[in-house]
Every structure is written in structure tokens, then in C-alpha cells.
Chains A and B, each alone.
Chain A
């Protein structure tokens, strides 16, 4: 063992407090340190995940008080898997945004990397924590970092996007607190396992009301329709890598939270169907909105929302297969959507007014970037032999096993819409009828290229050889499904 799960939180926090000091010593450290931290965390995560695969979940207690009393972190196959993805992605995002734009000065860079690191930490915290109030705190950490990052560019609209995000975010925290307090006032505990253990003693009406509040609050973060008004704006106005971070990290954490509540904490069966309903709604509406977008990033944003809807649907099946599918989707979405955001930012960067219509012929000017974008587009549509195919297949298989033919056909119909708008962009990239533009081509930096190539390679790797991930996914989904084991694991820890 290289360390314990708490280091996922402690180390970045320590680093975050250190960064301003380090920055006074050498300015470049501000950019380097977060990367080092993330590299360390990645090593830690991979090691722990490896350990967890064999030896079962690690329950870390904090401040020396056993679970119902103190706060605990749970690094199970499920949460560990998500944490690993998040940190990996975080590292790539860091690498990509290292010198993302040359003209960014010291102060903004410091803040950018700080906020980015804390965004990742917050999300990791959401996934790891075993305490509902602690989760609230991490959600807020993530939230504030996200507001700051959204408004990072001092252009006109980013503040608007950020404000919308903030407004909905604070409504979300209101609901979250309300829900937490309902639970607390009924059961007198904040520990997830403890709550799960005793939830059946709770008055069902209150239980459902608190569940609704939870879903609403977390749904805002997880971009569920109709709570996702902030999302397209925030995605499109935030810097490109941050968009990737939202799609790949923040939303995943929120979805995790919803899933944790529904699968582990509450024992409300109707919640699964509800997940399917809102998931489908989200998926359909988002994809329909995406097809009419004129700006690439906004399109990607809607597409992300849709994907999350699909993830929720997959979770909503409530079967292990469904969970497997959902996790696979999350993994793929993290990889592919990041690639799309990464390459897309350079495409946007090089087109007038950020319009898709202005992207004619970029395939020639930015060959690698465009190629990778096309690869990502193909993958996210679910074309074999790329990564996206396997997840789409598993979602459909899960649906078919639940005999939900209608849901299946809807998913496929929506995939068709998705295909249309992605291919429109790809078609444009490789359309040689370019408009004479005087804008000089801004080539991606070397580190950005490396990042994109890594992601592209991963897409191909998973596509050709899904076995690299399926083992972990199966373990992870089994871990989520086994609720009593979770409760037992957490509550049996005694100092």
C-alpha cells in the first residue's frame, strides 16, 4: 500500500494551501505542483484499486472515530474505479491545460490550477465519502471551484454562465440540506451505512420526500432535465479543458451521489423507474437540443447531458448488468467526451465566432486535431471498433434483459440524432470548400497533443480490447449492487 484513501483529499488540500507560498518562490511551481499531486494520486489510486480488487473495500475512518460517529471514506471497487477515472482524467486535463494559452499570466494561472485541482478533489471527495453531510461539503467545494472556473475567461458571457450555475447550485444546496436534515431528524445519524441500515424504520412519506429533495439537489449537478439549465452555458463558456472536467469528473461525481442514494441508502424501489424516466427525458431533450446548435461547445455540452441521461437510464435498470453498462458508459464518456472537448477547443479556437459553420476545411489546417475529433465523434456515436460501442452494446443488452424494448428503440433513435449532429461537424471539417479566413491557425501545443493522443489511444485500446476494463467494471458493479455487504463493511469497523 502506498497510502490510504484519505490522502486523496488531504494531499491536494495541503498542496492547495501550499501553492500560494510556493508561487512566491518560483512562479512555475504553481503550474507544476498540481500535476505532481495528481500524478501521485493516480499512482495511489491505481495501487489502491489493485488492492481493492483482491482484498475487498478499504474503509478509512477519520479522526479516530468509528463510522456512525465519525466520518469515513469508502474505497470500494465501485468508488475506487470512479476515483481512478477522475484522477486520471484530471491529470490529463492538467497536462492539456498546462500552458493552454500563452498569454495567461501568473495570477490567473495560479487560480486556475488551484481551482482545477480542487474541482477534482471535491469530486473525488463526493465519491469517497461515507457521510451525507460530508458529501454536501464536497459538493460545495466542487461547486465553488466550478463557478470560479466557469467565469475564468473575463469575456462577457462567462460570468453569465457562472451566475446561472451558481444560482441553481445554491438552490441545489438548499434542497440538499433540507433532505439531509429530514434524514437526520428521523434517524439521528449522518453516516450512509448507518442510515441504510435503519432506513426501513423511517416514515415512508418523509423518506420519499427526502429522496425527492436529494434527487433534485443532486440532479441539478448531474444535469438532469429540467434541472440542467446551467449546464450548456457553463460548458460552453468555461475554458475547454474545464468543459472536459465538468463532463468527465464533476457530473460523474453527482451521478455517483444519486446512485449511492438510490442503490445503497434508500430502499425505495420506485426510484429505479423514476431514474429511467428522468434519464430518458434528459437524454431525449438534450440530444434534440444538441442537433440545432450552432456552436460546437454548446453542442458538446448538450451531448454530455444526453450521455448522462443515458447513464441514469442504465442505472435505472437496477440490475447488475445495468450498472455495468452505466459504469462502462461513464468510463467511455469520460474518455471520449474529454477528447472531444480537447480537440473541439482547438477547433473552436480556430473558427470565427465559435460557429460550427465556420469550421470548413479545418481538417487540413489541423490534421491531427481534426482526426482525433472525428475519432471521438465516431466513438461516442458507438461505432465499432471504438470504445463507445461496447458501452452502447451493454446498455442495450441490459435493456433487453429487462424487456424494455421501447426504451431500447428510444435510445437507438436518440443515438441516430447524435450521429447526425456529430457527423455534420466531421463532414464540415473534411469539406474542402473553406472560406477564406485571415485568422492564423493556432496549432495545439505539444502537451495538448500528447493528451489527445493518449485519449485517442485509449479509445482504440478499449475498442479493440475491452478486456482491459471489463474485469474492473464487473467488480465495480458487483460492489455497488451488494448493499448489505457495504453496510456490514462500514459498520463492522471498530477502533
Chain B
């Protein structure tokens, strides 16, 4: 079990080495960076046994490390996505400044996430949690142009969450006298009712912040969009899942024992639903791909939260499967944006158009990722969506399912906007020179895209570890009962058999594709996208008629009232109010020495007057 130590030492040492290797040469730096992440990853899967724990006592506190199946499931997300993103980063960071800083924080966040998963006690959990927070914060301010204080906002919200968690941890400690998670779970039923309610609330606040749950999500758009894209894929794909990880543990181990737990579940599920809906609406409004994806991440996390919150087996399966899927497709999409940013220098839909022929592989990955995101069969996203709906319907969440449905239908709008904005539209001279991104960037994206496609028909690959994880948390196995390698069941006994569906889709598609391309490319002539007739006019060489501004405006007008006010504003107003109160308060320090002296006497006399009360 010392492998775990070794892994963390590799991470730490690698982080520091990478930081300083930049002085010796950038290639060396890349190599060390990759070696660290890939080495630790392979070591983890090769040398760490599941359900093998070890303890040690720093500072008189017993800490336990080890991984169970549930953590192992998430380690797939963290290390899998982490490794791919690391490969991608090498290409992405080529020629950029402050690579050492980037790599350092990258490695640290991966380490912290892994640390969270192996922590079996609250203290190391919290420590890694915070390392994760600040390393990601440092990434958010990486660009150094944090004018809107996005990093600060991120950190403040994270801190609210972290402090809530710390409070809960300490409360637990005062009952159990240890910090072990296992002891906490055991002691939970014996606590007083108010603590039984408060402790989960505090924990859920912490996890809700990281999982960008409404109304704690306001940090997310800024933070996701302003960190470097190579990292955002991990940030949104894996880091936010840590919130889900914690949430599931709390929901399963604590709230399910609580008679009032139903209120928690419902509230959380509805918050998830609202997050999904509002996140989607705001995503549609964005003109910047990063922002769009950021809001989309929020929305997707909303689905996941809803899934895990309703708490049935199918719901958990759905939520966790979606979590994996989200890691895949959002990781890919952020990588796509990163590639485009690297090649063109901008991520604004209104500026970049018509890249499909210049960056075909990027487009291919983006296409698959978007299909998965939209939940359209036959890709993996559908599996998750299907399970989520079935779970909601079979557990009597009728209104919620409609809300979710609304959100995922509306998501088509931004999905299309994303693909159209970058890849479709007219090809401009300005982007003529744009080339496909380097191989280190393309390969991870394509790999993930293909994996998504595979998952669409063989979801068992992921459902199996999820099942193991759930069994670890105390559920009965759902194998053959809710899922098989490529068949999905709901609890009413209905099923979707994925393989024949996939085959038919592919067959039909190929058939008609052949019909359409009958004479092949040779027979037809490619014409410029300028060679069109738009309302009877043919656009000139320098005219760009690509429809990119005010995309989906009518829809937004229809939902206008909901989007009138951002939740952000309430927070801002609250903070402003607080600050002006502080401003008022600090005038106590008038600057006049005599006044201070008078304070002393006021203090003395007041204390003397009330001495019988006070002492």
C-alpha cells in the first residue's frame, strides 16, 4: 500500500521538478510533466489495490488512505481525463508563457483530486479539497488579466463551501472524536436531530459549490472560461465531479437514514433541475464559446445532481453515468475550444466561422461530443439521459422530468450554436491560413470522441464500475436488473436494446450517405460558401453573411422574464451592502488619539458597570 505514498511523492516531486525544469528546456519540461502524470496514473492502476487501507498519525490525528470501488470509479474520470488533458496540454502550451506555473498547478490539481478519492478521513479529504481549490484558483488567474475578479469570486465561493465543510467536520469530530469517514457514518444516526440536519446541509453546501449547483454556481462561468482551456477540460470535466462524489456519499450514507431525508432529496433534485434549466438558458445567450461551455457545464451538472439526488438506484446510475459522460464530452469540447483558440486566437462565435474544412478532426470530435451532450442516440449521452428520465418517471418526479426535458431540449439550441458558430457558416479570408491543431491536441480529443461513441452502445463498460461503486456504498447490484452490457432496463421492466438500434442507425445512415454521394466527390464540384443565393443576392468576397449575432433571439425573447436578473446580482448587492457597512464600521478608528483614549475609559466603565453580569 506504500504505492499510494509513492504516487503522491511522484506528483509532488514532479510538480516541483516541472516547475524548475522550464529553465533547462521546454522539451524536458514537457517530458517530465507527461512522465509525472502518466507514470502516476499507471502506477495507480497497477499498484493500488481496492479496499486496502492504511493509517498514519500526523499531529495526533488518525488519517486513513485507501480507495474503494466508488472512489475508483471517479479515479477513472480524474486520471483518465487528466492523462488525456495532460497530453493535450503539451500541445496547447507550446510557445506560451508561464508553462512551469501551468504544469505545476495542473499536476497539483490532479494530485488533489486523486487525494480526495483516496481519503478515508475528513481531514485529508479537506486538505486535498483545499489544495484542489487553490491550485485551480491559481489556474483561473493564470492569464493574469483578471479584471472582473473572477478568480476571487471562485475562491470566495469555494471558501464558503470549504468553511461549511470544515464546520461540519469539526462538528462530527466533537461527537465521534475521530475524523474517519467510516466513524462519521456510524455515529450519524446517534446524533441529535438538529445536527443530523445541519451536518448534511453543511457538507452539501460545500459539494454544491464545487458542483456549481444553483444558487452557488455564480463563480462557474467566469472561472471556467478564464482558465486556460487545457485545464478547463479537467476543471469542468473532473474537478466539478468531486462535488458529485461528495454529494453521493452524503446522500447515500447520511440522508438515506434520516426520516426527513426526503426533503433534502427533493430540494436537491429541484435545485439540480433549476440549475439545468437556467444554465441552459444562459448558455444559449453566450457569444463566447468558453462562456457557452461554462454555462453548459453548469446545466449538465444540474442533471447529474438531479440524478443522484432522487436516490433510486437508477437515478444514481444515471447521475454517475452522466458524470462520466460529462467528463468525456465536456473535456472534449473544452479541448476543441482550446484548439480553436490556439489556432485562431479567439473563441468568439461572431469572429470565427467556417473552420470545418480547416480543422476536420477537431470538428469530428466536436460533433460527436455535441451529439453526446445533446443526449441523442446512438452516443453515450443518450444512455445517461434515458436513465435519468426513466429514473425520474419511475420515482414519480413528473414535474421535474418536464423541467429536465425542457432543459435538454433547449440545449439543442446551444449545441447547434456551438457547431455552427465555429465550423459552419461562410469561410473567411481571415481564417484561410488556419491549420489543424497539432497531433498531441487532436489525438486526445478524437480518442475521447470515439470512446463516447463506444459507450453509446456498450455502456456496460462504465456501468460496471459504477455498479461496483454503488455496491460499495451499500446498494444491491443492479447488474442484469437495471442494465446489461448493452441493454438498459427501467424498474417497470421496459428496456432499450442498444446494439440493434445502433446497427440500424448506422445501416440507414450509410445507405443514404451512399445514395447521396453516389457519384463521389469527383462527380460534384465543391463551391465556396460565398457562392450561395441569399434572398436573391450573391454575397461578395468580403461580405460575411454568417448568421452569428442574436442567435436564437426569438427563443430568448420568449423566456425573457426568467432571465431578467442574474443571481449574481443579488450576491453583488449583498456584498456591496456588507462592504459599505464595514466602511461605516471602520470609522470607529477616527485617527484621533484622544478618542482612542476615551474608548479605553468607556470600555473600563462599561465593564465595571456590568461586572456582575460579565463575571
Contacts and interface: CB of A to CB of B under 8 A. Distances in A.
A and B touch in the complex (CB under 8 A): yes
Interface of A: 160, 163-164, 167-168, 171, 175, 208-209, 211-213, 215-216, 219-220, 226-227, 229-230, 232-233, 268-271, 273-274, 277, 285, 288-289, 291-292, 378, 381, 383-385, 389-390, 392-393, 396-397, 399-401, 403, 405, 408-409, 412-413, 415-416, 419-420, 423-424, 427, 430-433, 465-467, 470, 474
Interface in B145-191: 145-147, 149, 151-152, 155-156, 159-160, 163-164, 166-167, 170-171, 173-174
Which 8 residue pairs across A and B have the least CB separation, nearest first? A229-B596, A270-B615, A432-B144, A466-B59, A289-B586, A384-B127, A400-B174, A164-B593
A105 to B, nearest CB: 30
A416 B160 CA distance: 7
A318 to B, nearest CB: 14
B615 A274 contact: yes
Given A209-B611, A378-B134, A383-B134, A292 B166 contact: no
A397 B170 contact: yes
Secondary structure at chain A's binding surface: helix, strand, loop or mixed? helix
B582 A288 contact: yes
B414 interface: no
B51 to A, nearest CB: 26
Contacts of B145: 431-433
Given A289-B582, A431-B145, A209 B608 contact: yes
Interface string B103-131: 00000000000000000000100111011
A57 to B, nearest CB: 23
Nearest to A268: B615
Nearest to B603: A226
Given A274-B614, A288-B585, A400-B174, A427 B127 contact: no
Contacts of B614: 270, 273-274, 277
Contacts, number: 163
Given A288-B586, A433-B147, A420 B615 contact: no
Given A400-B170, A416-B159, A167 B597 contact: yes
Nearest to A291: B582
Given A168-B596, A171-B597, A396-B170, 16 more contacts: A215-B607, A226-B599, A226-B600, A229-B596, A230-B593, A270-B614, A273-B614, A289-B582, A292-B579, A384-B128, A400-B174, A401-B174, A412-B163, A423-B155, A424-B152, A427-B152
A232 B173 CA distance: 37
Interface string B597-609: 1011011100110
B141 interface: yes
Interface in B575-602: 579, 581-583, 585-586, 588-589, 591, 593-597, 599-600, 602
Q: Which of A232, A292, A424 has the largest count of B CB atoms less than 10 A from its CB?
A: A292
B589 A232 contact: yes
Interface string B256-295: 0000000000000000000000000000000000000000
Contacts of A292: 579, 582-583, 586
Contacts of B146: 427, 431
Interface in B12-49: none
Given A229-B599, A289-B582, A403 B149 contact: no
Interface residues of B, number: 56
A234 B307 CA distance: 57
Contact of B593 (A167, A215, A401, A409): A167
A383 B167 CA distance: 14
B58 interface: yes
Contacts of A274: 614-615
Contacts of B611: 208-209, 212
Given A232-B589, A289-B586, A212 B599 contact: no
A344 to B, nearest CB: 19
Nearest to A433: B145
A212 B597 contact: no
A105 B588 CA distance: 39
B607 A216 contact: yes
A384 B589 contact: no
B60 interface: yes
A9 to B, nearest CB: 29
Contact of A384 (B126, B151, B163, B588): B126
Contact of A415 (B126, B163, B170, B597): B163
A403 B174 CA distance: 8
B439 to A, nearest CB: 31
A172 to B, nearest CB: 8
A412 B131 CA distance: 18
A167 B595 CA distance: 11
Contacts of A168: 593, 596-597, 600
A419 B615 contact: no
A163 B608 contact: no
Contact of B166 (A233, A396, A420, A467): A396
Nearest to B612: A208
Interface in B316-340: none
Contacts of B144: 430-433
A465 B600 CA distance: 42
Nearest to A274: B614
Contacts of A390: 59
Contacts of B581: 288
A153 B155 CA distance: 38
A216 B603 CA distance: 8
Nearest to B608: A212
B579 A271 contact: no
Contacts of A229: 589, 593, 595-597, 599
A382 to B, nearest CB: 8
Contacts of A160: 593
A385 B131 contact: yes
Nearest to A399: B170
A208 B615 contact: yes
28 contacts: A160-B593, A216-B603, A216-B607, A226-B588, A226-B602, A227-B596, A273-B614, A285-B588, A288-B585, A289-B585, A291-B582, A384-B130, A385-B130, A389-B130, A393-B123, A396-B167, A396-B170, A400-B170, A400-B173, A416-B156, A419-B159, A420-B156, A423-B152, A423-B156, A430-B144, A431-B144, A433-B145, A467-B60
B58 A466 contact: yes
A292 B586 CA distance: 8
Nearest to A216: B604
Contact of B599 (A227, A400, A405): A227
A274 B606 CA distance: 13
A44 B248 CA distance: 55
Contact of A175 (B164, B585, B604): B604
Contacts of B127: 384-385, 389
Contacts of B579: 291-292
Nearest to B195: A405
A289 B590 CA distance: 12
Nearest to B141: A430
B615 A397 contact: no
A273 B611 CA distance: 12
Contacts of A397: 170, 173-174
B58 A465 contact: yes
Contacts of B608: 209, 212
Nearest to A302: B586
A82 to B, nearest CB: 20
Interface-central residue, B59, B143, B156, B585, by most chain A CB under 10 Å:
B59
A250 to B, nearest CB: 18
A413 B164 CA distance: 10
Contacts of A401: 174
Contacts of A381: 159
Contacts of A163: 593
B173 to A, nearest CB: 6
